[in-house]
Amino acid sequence: MKRAVLAAALAVCLAQPSMQAVAQTVADQCFAIGDIAGQVASWRLHKKTKAQALEQAQKYYKDESDRQAVTGVIDRIYTGAAMTPDQASMIFTRECAQQKKPTPAQ
């Protein structure tokens, strides 16, 4: 009985079409940019320096486009007026979504 169940389970798994893994970067996802902006704003509010934030980004983000996106977020948050993590998240998510919105053809 166990062999029959195992064989059936294996057959189902093998019969499913294989899906290609699609690598997405942080820079491609507006919600991720918003989350990062909220985290960076929190760092600033808790007195983490810009240099510490940049070091953290270099440690965790290996993809070059991700690093550029995160560095841009850090630069903007540390040079502008202080904001809460929620404000930063909403602002960056909205701006990203607006940039990615398709423009109507004329």
- The predicted-structure confidence for 62-84, as pLDDT tens digits, reads as follows 899 899 999 999 999 999 999 99
The pTM (predicted TM-score) of the whole model is: 0.70
Dihedral sign (CA 38, 42, 43, 44)? positive
Q: Are 77 and 37 in contact (CB under 8 A)?
A: yes
- At residue 39, the pLDDT reads 94
